[in-house]
Amino acid sequence: MTIAATILGTAALPVGKWQTAPGTVPRVLEHEVLAKLVMEAVADAGIDKSDIGSMIFALPRPYTQQKYFATFMANYLRLPCSGTVAEMMGNGMTAALAFQAAVDEIRLGKTKVALALGVNFETATSSAEHMMSSMRATGDVDFHVPFGFTPISWYAMDAARYIHEFHSSREELATVAVKNRAHAVLNPIAQFRKPITLEQVLAQAPIVEPLGLYEVPARSDGAVCIVLAAEDVAKATGRPYARLRGQSFFHEGAHQISEVPNDMIALVAAQTAGRGALAEAGITPADIDLAELYAPCTIVEVLVSEALGLAPRGQGARQCAEGQTSLGGRIPICTSGGLQSRGHPAYVTPLYSFVEVADQLRGRAGARQVAGARLALTSAELGNYNAAMVHVLEAVQ
């Protein structure tokens, strides 16, 4: 029998613009920001520094000057580890891979306590320059990139296809942005907290048609530390925790598009990983109390909610417009505000998802608390959901 892993402590930097350009004085630097969060997360967990045996980092952005960041931090924190110290990378899935690697450290008995942590600083680089790098991560450098595809252009094509197939509309999809902003208003660590209307969303400048500025993710800096512990350690603290109940990963073996024409907006990877995680947890989508989905654009939240069985196929946008995915609705989605409004420091975004569900499952989400939240689901992805990782977590009070 494998050892059950739990989330016992969390700490997160409010998402926003923190990065300072080279040459400015004083600088805001990644290691100082993250070390402070490590102290806070360890205090939140009620464990001792000496309990920690592994640290799995999200790889920092290339703009972070300190290389081999994980080993630099092992020294900065003066933390000898007998498990693993490493950095993970997998595009948007990066932080979910770090989280899962930390879980595996516990499940394999390499340590009783592991940290999943990371810092994503990028906003001192302009979007046009940043895309010179990110376009090469979300496309074939020789057969996609020369045409000018950008990371979110693939999601925009999902939106066009969804509108075409299901007689939806930009207006219907845009209700996701309004709903997520309403959630972010209640989240102290969200990047954008001023309420917005549907009219305001539709009036924004086009970015990748049919999506405008408020329907796509912001550029963000962020940092998170999560303390994971074996369940016996969590139980001994007497504090509430979130137990990992199911996890699954699937890569469809395609990069942005499949050369064999398929139903691109079915998100096969999310369907498959979702089924796997729910099966391991022994539950159905109807049992889920809230879902924190990795959805850079409005359309992606709709597609993932359908792929995971949280909404019927072709009705995800309509159900959002009806309020079914809002706080107080049938299945609240992205109570944090999601990637459009909580913010999207991409390499640590999934860690923010785990922070949100851990807050919800420990009953401390404040004004955005889902009453009686017991089971929560998270998703992470890369490409155009060519790969997905889904986790199911359970409240233990």
Partner 1 sequence: MTLEILHIDRARPYPPRVTAFTQHFWDSVAQGRLETTVCDDCGRFSFPPKPFCPHCWCTRTHWAELSGRGQLYSQTLIHAAPATFRDEAPYRVGIVDLNEGLRIATRVLSETTPGLDVPVQIVVLLYTDGPLFAARLSE
Give the binding site for partner 1 (CB under 8 A). Answer: 126-129, 131-132, 135, 139-150, 153, 156-161, 164, 205-210, 256-262, 264
Which CB, 4 or 159, lies closer to partner 1? 159
Q: How far is the CB of 211 from partner 1 (least distance, A)?
A: 8
Cβ–Cβ < 8 Å for 183, 352? no
Q: How far is the CB of 77 from partner 1 (least distance, A)?
A: 37
The DSSP bridge pattern shows strands 375-382 and 290-292 to be parallel
Which CB, 99 or 162, lies closer to partner 1? 162
Distance CA 97, CA 172 (A): 33
Q: How far is the CB of 3 from partner 1 (least distance, A)?
A: 38
Q: How far is the CB of 107 from partner 1 (least distance, A)?
A: 33
Which CB, 229 or 339, lies closer to partner 1? 339
Distance CA 182, CA 175 (A): 11
DSSP annotation of 16: B
Q: How far is the CB of 171 from partner 1 (least distance, A)?
A: 16
Which CB, 68 or 147, lies closer to partner 1? 147
Which CB, 39 or 203, lies closer to partner 1? 203
Which CB, 57 or 385, lies closer to partner 1? 385
- Cis status of the peptide bond prior to 285, with omega within 30 of 0: no
Cα 182 to the center of its chain, rounded Å = 18
Cβ–Cβ < 8 Å for 310, 186? no
Q: How far is the CB of 216 from partner 1 (least distance, A)?
A: 8
Strand, coil or helix: 376? strand
Cβ–Cβ < 8 Å for 335, 365? yes
Cα-based angle 243, 107, 234 (whole degrees, multiple of 5): 40
Which CB, 86 or 145, lies closer to partner 1? 145
Cα 289 to the center of its chain, rounded Å = 18
Residue with tokens 């860690």: 351
Distance CA 252, CA 235 (A): 38
Cα-based angle 129, 30, 104 (whole degrees, multiple of 5): 100
DSSP assignment of 160-226: HHHHHHHT--HHHHHHHHHHHHHHHTT-TT-S--S---HHHHHTSPEEETTEEGGGSPPP-BEEEEE
Which CB, 33 or 163, lies closer to partner 1? 163
Q: How far is the CB of 120 from partner 1 (least distance, A)?
A: 20
Q: How far is the CB of 31 from partner 1 (least distance, A)?
A: 29
The DSSP bridge pattern shows strands 387-396 and 222-230 to be unpaired
Q: How far is the CB of 93 from partner 1 (least distance, A)?
A: 22
Which CB, 212 or 316, lies closer to partner 1? 212
Q: Which two tokens stand for residue 56?
A: 């799995």
Distance CA 239, CA 234 (A): 7
